[in-house]
């Protein structure tokens, strides 16, 4: 096994090893400190953790494709909030007054179309102007958040549909509805990235954009499709979460982009593009949720959670760099 293959194997397995370490550490720490009579992670708590991972997880999975492509999207949090507002508010529009519960799929479609449209705007600007996606989506983040506040001021947008709530709270084979959506997205994107030409092109573009162009890949349209995809997934995340909660505040979704990027990087996706894994990003999402729950379990505050996750992210980026250098036979300490 050469250095590059060994490095790739280490990266893919590292996140699951870290998750195992978290489970053992917080279970032992909780027992040692006698903080609770219940186990840190029994089956019910693990199923709940998967449900709670769905909103950030669905966005992080889309962010994985964007980052494999060599781009980034900072507007997903604002897209999430705007799609949620469209979904809840559209249920009360007079034009749909006679629809009954059939307004639910209509409102879902409108929310998803909102996400796709916002993603298309980002992708089109990146494609046609050549401006870096970081700058484009930073501006989009501010602009889309402005639209959120323009829509309903600083007031929350609320509408509780009990049929929708029952669907969102339902369980099938022990898994919550949100968890099934998360797993469906994992399966769909895994297939897209590993079994289709579009997926192979995403890796090729992220690894060497100039070579991809020379190979005949239409880089601009490809990237636009990926931005539309992450817009769709940000809206889907909103549909999954707000179908149950029924109320969205204009500040909802803030920092979602940072949590999503953190999960993607913890899963081993390179910030420079060209390498990454859908399944490992799922591991990154679970690892973050476990860390937040575990630190809360042993009595740490929110500020401690953020500090620890930030330090771990820096450590992961450093180790990633060292592994990349080692794979080339040039390790420097």
SS3 (DSSP) at 7 = helix
User: How far from the centroid of its chain's Cα atoms is residue 207's Cα?
Assistant: 22
| Cβ proximity of 129 and 230 under 8 Å | no
- Residue 12 pLDDT: 66
**H/E element, 176:** strand 175-176
Closest residue by Cα to residue 275 from 2, 9, 1: 9
pLDDT digits (tens, 9 = 90+) for 260-272: 998 998 888 888 8
Pick from 59-73, 186-200, 235-249: least confident = 235-249
Q: Among positive and negative, which fits the CA dihedral 242, 225, 251, 157?
A: negative
Half-sphere exposure of 230 (CA within 13 A, CB side): 35
pLDDT at 230: 96
Is 13 within a domain? Answer: no
Q: Give percent helix, percent strand, percent coil of the chain, each to the nearest 5.
A: 75, 0, 20
274 touches 4 (CB < 8 A): no
C-alpha distances (whole Å) from 186 to each of 54, 160, 212, 302 are 11, 29, 26, 29
Domain membership of residue 41 (yes or no) is no
Measured CA distances, 277 to 9, 68, 107, 146, 284 (Å): 12, 9, 32, 33, 10
The angle that helices 43-68 and 76-90 make with each other, rounded to 10 degrees, is 120
Highest mean pLDDT among 22-31, 156-165, 254-263, 296-305: 254-263
pTM to 2 decimal places: 0.90
Q: For residue 83, give every residue at least 6 positions away whose Cβ sits within 8 Å of its Cβ, in sequence order, or none.
A: 111, 112, 114, 115, 234, 235, 238, 239
pLDDT at residue 83 is higher than 70: yes
157 backbone dihedrals φ, ψ, rounded to 5°: -105, 120
Phi, psi angle pair for 292, to nearest 5°:
-65, -45
Taking 60 as the threshold, does the pLDDT of residue 237 lie above it? yes
Contact 222, 204 (CB under 8 A): no
Q: Phi and psi at residue 171, in whole multiples of 5°?
A: -125, 145
State the DSSP string of 25-83. Answer: HHHHHHHHHT--SS-TT-HHHHHHHHHHHHHHHHHHHHHHHHHHTT---S-HHHHHHHH
- Tell whether 242 is covered by a domain: yes
C-alpha torsion angle, residues 63, 69, 71, 76 (rounded to 10) = -20
Total of domains in the chain: 1
How far is the C-alpha of 96 from the C-alpha of 124, rounded, in Å? 32
Lowest mean pLDDT among 28-32, 181-185, 208-212: 28-32
140-197 tens-digit pLDDT: 999 999 999 988 788 888 888 888 888 888 888 889 999 999 999 999 999 999 999 9
Q: Characterize 117-148 residue by residue with b for buried, 16 or more Cβ atoms within 10 angstroms of its Cβ, and e for exposed.
A: bbbbbbbbbbbeeeeebeebbbebbeebbebb
Asked whether residue 315 is domain-assigned, the answer is yes
HSE toward the beta carbon, residue 323, CA cutoff 13 A: 19
Q: Is the pLDDT of residue 278 over 90?
A: yes
Q: Report the CATH number at residue 313.
A: 1.10.3470
- Highest-confidence segment of 57-71, 97-111, 155-169, 235-249: 57-71
Look at residue 330 in the predicted model and tell me its pLDDT. 47
33 part of a folded domain = no
Within a domain: residue 332? Answer: no
201 CA to centre of own chain? 21
Rounded (10°) angle between helices 162-169 and 219-245 = 110
Count of residues making up the chain: 333
298 SS3 class: coil
Write out the residue range of the structural domain in which residue 72 sits.
50-323
């Amino acid at each position: 096994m050469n250095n590059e293959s060994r490095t790739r194997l280490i990266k893919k397995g590292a996140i699951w090893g870290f998750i195992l370490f978290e489970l053992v550490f917080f279970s032992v720490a909780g027992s040692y400190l006698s903080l609770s009579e219940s186990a840190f992670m029994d089956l019910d708590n693990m199923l709940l953790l998967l449900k709670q991972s769905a909103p950030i997880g669905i966005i992080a999975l889309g962010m994985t494709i964007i980052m494999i492509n060599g781009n980034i999207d900072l507007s997903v949090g604002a897209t999430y909030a705007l799609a949620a507002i469209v979904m809840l508010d559209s249920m009360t529009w007079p034009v749909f007054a006679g629809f009954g519960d059939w307004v639910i799929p209509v409102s879902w479609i409108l929310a998803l179309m909102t996400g796709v449209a916002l993603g298309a705007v980002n992708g089109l600007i990146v494609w046609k102007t050549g401006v870096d996606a970081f700058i484009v989506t930073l501006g989009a983040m501010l602009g889309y958040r402005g639209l959120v506040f323009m829509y309903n001021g600083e007031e929350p947008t609320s509408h509780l549909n009990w049929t929708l709530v029952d669907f969102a709270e339902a369980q099938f084979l022990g898994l919550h509805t949100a968890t099934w959506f998360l797993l469906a997205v994992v399966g769909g994107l895994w297939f897209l990235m590993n079994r289709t030409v579009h997926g192979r092109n995403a890796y090729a573009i992220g690894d060497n954009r100039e070579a991809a162009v020379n190979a005949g890949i239409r880089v601009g349209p490809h990237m636009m499709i990926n931005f539309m995809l992450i817009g769709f997934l940000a809206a889907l995340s909103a549909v999954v979460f707000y179908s149950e909660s029924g109320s969205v505040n204009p500040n909802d979704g803030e920092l979602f982009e940072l949590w999503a990027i953190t999960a993607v990087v913890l899963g081993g996706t390179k910030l420079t593009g060209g390498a990454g894994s859908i399944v490992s990003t799922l591991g990154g999402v679970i690892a973050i949720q476990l860390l937040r729950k575990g630190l809360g379990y042993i009595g740490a505050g929110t500020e401690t959670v953020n500090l620890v996750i930030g330090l771990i992210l820096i450590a992961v980026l450093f180790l990633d760099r060292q592994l990349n250098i080692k794979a080339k036979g040039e390790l420097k300490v």
